[in-house]
Amino acid sequence: MTAYIARRLLLLVPVLLGVSLASFGLLQLVPGDPAIILAGQEATEETLAQIRHEYGLDQPRAIQYLVYLKNVVRGNFGISIQSRQPVATLIAQRFPFTLRLAFLAILVSAALGVVAGVVAATHRNSVLDLAALLGSLIGISMPIFWLGLLAMLLFSVRLQWLPAGGSGTLAHLVLPAVVLGASSSAVIARMTRASMLEVLRQDYTRTARAKGVGEPTVVYRHALKNAMIPILTVFGLEFGYNLGGAVLTETVFSLPGIGRLVVEGIFARDYPVVQGTMLVVATTFVLVNLMTDVAYAVIDPRIRYD
């Protein structure tokens, strides 16, 4: 297991290198000059040239990338062009909030998705099964920002049960977590249903029923436990997608997370902020998937990585 984890951590290096190169290249294609955004449209050419020189924007793009890469290796993500603060400080301030939001969203999606998938599988071709499939289809198809606006209109404006935005209490995270977890719950529900249907047809489940074991024990102890491997894979992937989906969710609900930091950085052409946040999100995504792979061996003793 230790050797497997070490190999996966080594593979993290080329992945992050590719992410840094892709983010740097895409940002160069975005129209606009950070110097003009920082100094204003009325700034003189001398002022703009001084700003470009201060942030290294007057260097060739290849040199800019190599300098950025060298600083990242040293743990320096650069200085924000917009706020003049270290990018590492900005990420450290906002990333914990996004992690909490993504964690709550995956809890919501797990509770809704697993329950809906189990109910659909144990009541195949019934009204409950069709309702679960219809709900999954709606959850996958509905955009996050549109669902967020509808949730705000209903629960914040009409019913006034929950705040429409901001942060500070758990109530501020309820709507964003439900909205962010809705799409993930739809994917988890469909995967749970498919995996449970396959397991319920296995010989050991029929044997358990033949021995007189109760149906709840057959479903939750025998079937669901053995169906968890593909479901756990979806958990890991959806957690990473929740970090990306937080960009829209945090923007809609005005949340102080890393997703909103990315949006602000894109509008301000703040290259160091966008590149640094993308690296952090990519690293988190890879580490979560590594922990998911390790969890396979914990759930199923037959799986070994040695």
> Has residue 300 got a pLDDT over 70?
no
> Has residue 43 got a pLDDT over 60?
yes
Of the pLDDT bands very low, low, confident and very high (cuts 50, 70, 90), residue 202 is confident
Give, in degrees to the nearest 5, the angle at Cα 239 between 124 and 182. 50
Give the H/E segment covering residue 163: none
Q: What is the pLDDT of residue 306?
A: 58
Which domains can be identified in the chain, with CATH numbers?
89-299 (1.10.3720.10)
> Has residue 98 got a pLDDT over 80?
yes
* Mean pLDDT, residues 226-241: 80
Cβ atoms of 288 and 300 within 8 Å: the answer is: no
- Which positions ≥6 away from 62 have C-beta within 8 Å? none
Cβ atoms of 9 and 291 within 8 Å: the answer is: no
Cβ atoms of 243 and 103 within 8 Å: the answer is: no
* Mean pLDDT, residues 3-26: 78
Of the pLDDT bands very low, low, confident and very high (cuts 50, 70, 90), residue 304 is low
Q: Which residue, chain included where needed, has tokens 């949340």?
A: 255
**Tokens of residue 17, six digits:** 């290198």
Distance, in Å, from the CA atom of 85 to the CA atom of 101, rounded to the nearest integer, reads: 24
* Mean pLDDT, residues 229-245: 78
> Has residue 165 got a pLDDT over 80?
no
> Has residue 2 got a pLDDT over 80?
no
* Mean pLDDT, residues 277-290: 82
> Has residue 169 got a pLDDT over 70?
yes
> Has residue 40 got a pLDDT over 80?
no
- Which positions ≥6 away from 70 have C-beta within 8 Å? none
Question: For 79-97, what is each residue's pLDDT tens digit?
Answer: 887 778 888 888 888 888 8
- Counting every residue written for the chain, the total comes to 306
> Has residue 245 got a pLDDT over 70?
no
Long-range contacts, 264-267 (Cβ 8 Å, 24+)? 264/82, 265/80, 265/82, 266/30
Give, in degrees to the nearest 5, the angle at Cα 69 between 68 and 71. 65
SS3 for 25-83 is HHHHHCCCCHHHHHHCCCCCHHHHHHHHHHCCCCCCHHHHHHHHHHHHHCCCCCECCCC
Cβ atoms of 35 and 52 within 8 Å: the answer is: yes
Residue 124 vs residue 244, higher pLDDT? 124
> Has residue 38 got a pLDDT over 80?
no
Distance, in Å, from the CA atom of 145 to the CA atom of 245, rounded to the nearest integer, reads: 9
State what percent of residues in the chain have pLDDT above 70. Answer: 93
| Nearest residue to 200 via CA among 189, 185, 215 | 215
* Mean pLDDT, residues 180-205: 83
Q: What is the mean pLDDT of the chain?
A: 80
Question: For 52-76, what is each residue's pLDDT tens digit?
Answer: 777 777 777 788 888 888 888 887 8
Q: What is the pLDDT of residue 145?
A: 79
Report residue 253 CA to chain centroid gap.
16
Q: Which residue, chain included where needed, has tokens 């201060």?
A: 54
Other beta carbons within 10 Å of 135: 17
Candidate ranges 127-141, 161-175, 201-215; pick with highest mean pLDDT:
127-141
